[in-house]
Amino acid sequence: MNNILELTDLSKELDHFRLNKVSFSLMEGCITGFIGVNGSGKTTTIKTILGLILKDGGSIKLFGKEMTEHERDLKNRIGVVLDEGYFYDDMTLKEMKNIISPAYKSWDEDVFVSYIKRFNLSLNQKISTLSKGMRMKYAITLALSHHADLLIMDEPTSGLDPLVRSELMDLLLEFMKEEGKTVFFSTHMTSDLDKIADMLILIDDGKILLSEEKDQLLDTHAIVKGDNKLLNEQTRKLFLVLRETAYGFEGVTSKKSSVHQQMSDVLIEKPTIEDIMLAYIGGSKDAI
Amino acid sequence: MLFNLVIKDFIIAKKYLVFMLVFAIVGPIFITSKLELNNGGFISFVVTALYSLYILFNTVSMSEDKYKGSALLCATPYTRSSLVKAKYLFICVLFICSVAVYTMVSYIVPELLGRLNITNIGLAFLIVTVFFGILIPVQFRFGFEKTKFIAFIVVFLTPFIFPPIVEWLESNPSLNVTFSLPQMLRGWLPFVLTLLIGLVSMNISIRIYSRKNL
């Protein structure tokens, strides 16, 4: 599989935050989840990829071409959904579409109309009157109506009810059925990724902590529970995060096989993506 | 593409377009009759045009500042420079509309409004270009909120300061710079200056906006 997007040592210094040599790549035909807590750098990274925030250093290659040199051509192949929509709220859906559509070489009005019908949107409705869910559907309609190869979405599920979130996930899976399509979306709601993500990239404090296949990540990591007596200097090193109480310990490990070898009589459970994310960033579930 | 971005500005400002059309018709007549100016309607046209353009431009800027729509547009194949160029084109289109409206009104009520000649139009365009040539880059640099106070003061002082200055200049011919250029070229000079100032300002704005984080 080809690399659709390659970020190498991407750096950006902002007032109270910096992206610290962010490097990762997206593979063609994959849904990649970009996870991290609020303020970890997800939006800054996405905005930098899109050229909305100017990078201080590093390289952004899309479809093998440097983004800064071929920005206009490359953006024709990207569909974008931004977290706050960034729509002119006083416009109608039709007016907004009439502004966006001429920007794309391969805008397909039939596709646009079919999504509008599917989502029961009214073209004469003002954007300000749309609910959060409808707004997201409209944003996706705009993003998918020019046959984009890469769909970039920033927190698309944030603030949506479970039904709309589920609809969105189905839509992404449908989009992926076509050959050569790739999805990159950021979220702090990791439950969305359990169902659909192929790859996961974890960012925290502007640094990439891990970039791996979801299934491999879930296979190699485990939640381990057991008696405190099993913990010693050697076994403690096997855990990314460890919580000890009077009744025993609970920890997340990335060395499942070593735990098997070195610790008998422990309970090993399959972790969720959230468990793994929190283990790497050193937080607890309550922190999210 | 540029054309669509100008249309976008008109859609944003559409609520005020009818009001501004009425103002563009009534404004020059009112100013000329109240101030009893004897300069063929030039000052009343400049003041009205400047007001109308500023209010419409400001409406668009306010909406851009509120909704950050330009961030979405920059995420599409629209370039940052095309967004900047569209702002200047928007002002040009509005100015042309102002001239058209004023000319129509001056044909309807010739006893109240004098017709604009090419030199007057050129001078008015030059004044408008100087004003927006400063305002647009400043707004791109400092944002809408910080800029609006400065602009408000300048615009609201214009009717009080501008007519006396022009009247004074007209009553003191010795102060007028005498060009050794032929009459016809002198008539086109404001347009040349307008073009130069506009281009310089646009390039400054493009540079500023190309370095901005959206």
Interface predicted TM-score of the whole assembly (ipTM), two decimals: 0.86
Residues 6+ apart with CB under 8 A from B70: B64, B83, B214
* A139-to-A109, A119, A156 alpha-carbon distances in Å: 15, 11, 9
The pLDDT value given to residue A286: 42
The pLDDT value given to residue A62: 94
List all residues of chain B from 78 to 117 with a beta carbon under 8 Å from chain A. Answer: 78-79
Whether A13 and chain B come into contact, CB under 8 Å, resolves to no
The pLDDT value given to residue A13: 93
Residue B41 to residue A287: CA distance in whole angstroms: 68
Give one word for A39, left, alpha or beta, with left for phi > 0 and alpha for psi -120 to 50. left
Helix, strand, or coil (residue A253): strand
The pLDDT value given to residue A287: 38
What does the pLDDT profile of chain A (288 residues) look like in tens digits? 688 999 999 999 998 899 999 999 999 999 999 999 888 999 999 999 999 999 999 999 999 999 999 999 999 999 999 987 799 999 999 999 999 999 999 999 999 999 999 999 999 999 999 998 999 999 999 999 999 999 999 998 888 888 888 888 889 999 999 888 999 999 888 888 888 899 999 999 999 999 999 999 999 999 999 998 888 888 998 999 999 998 999 999 999 888 988 888 899 999 999 999 999 987 544 433
Enter the tokens of residue A122. Answer: 């009214």
Q: Which residues of A touch B211 (CB under 8 A)?
A: 54
Would the CB atoms of B7 and A99 count as touching at under 8 Å? yes
Which residue, among B14, B72, B83, would best test binding to A if mutated, counting the most A CBs under 10 Å from its CB? B72
Would the CB atoms of A99 and B211 count as touching at under 8 Å? no
Q: Among A27-31, B69-73, B123-127, B146-150, where is mean pLDDT lowest?
A: B146-150
CB atoms within 10 A of CB A278: 22
Q: Rounded to the nearest 10 degrees, how much is the dihedral formed by the CA atoms of A53, A57, A58, A64?
A: 60
Whether B73 and chain A come into contact, CB under 8 Å, resolves to yes
Backbone phi, then psi, for B79, in 5-degree steps? -90, 160
Shortest distance, CA B73 to any CA of chain A (angstroms): 7
* Strands of the sheet with A65-66, listed across from one edge: A18-27, A3-13, A57-62, A65-66
Which of B63, B74, B79 comes nearest A90 by C-beta?
Answer: B63
Q: Domain tally for chain B?
A: 1
Q: Among A269-283, B64-78, B82-96, where is mean pLDDT lowest?
A: A269-283
Residue A45 to residue A10: CA distance in whole angstroms: 8
DSSP secondary structure of B129-175:
HHHHHHHHHHHHHHHHHHHHHHHHHHHHHHHHHHHHHHHHHHH-GGG
H helices present in B36-108, as ranges: 42-67, 69-75, 80-108
Instruction: Report pLDDT digits (tens) over B138-195.
Output: 999 999 888 877 777 776 777 777 777 777 766 765 545 555 566 667 778 889 999 9
Residues composing chain A: 288
DSSP tag of A156: T
Instruction: Report pLDDT digits (tens) over B157-171.
Output: 777 777 777 777 667
The pLDDT value given to residue A285: 43
The pLDDT value given to residue A142: 95
Which residue, among A43, A78, A86, A128, would best test binding to B if mutated, counting the most B CBs under 10 Å from its CB? A86
Residues 6+ apart with CB under 8 A from A119: A134, A137, A138, A141
C-alpha R_g of chain A: 21
Q: Which residues of B touch A82 (CB under 8 A)?
A: 71-72, 75
Residue B81 to residue B97: CA distance in whole angstroms: 24
The pLDDT value given to residue B180: 59
b (16+ CB within 10 A) / e for A69-101: eebeebbbbbbbbbbebbbbbbbbbebbbbbbb
Domain residues for B39? 2-210
Whether A133 and chain B come into contact, CB under 8 Å, resolves to no
Backbone phi, then psi, for A22, in 5-degree steps? -75, 125
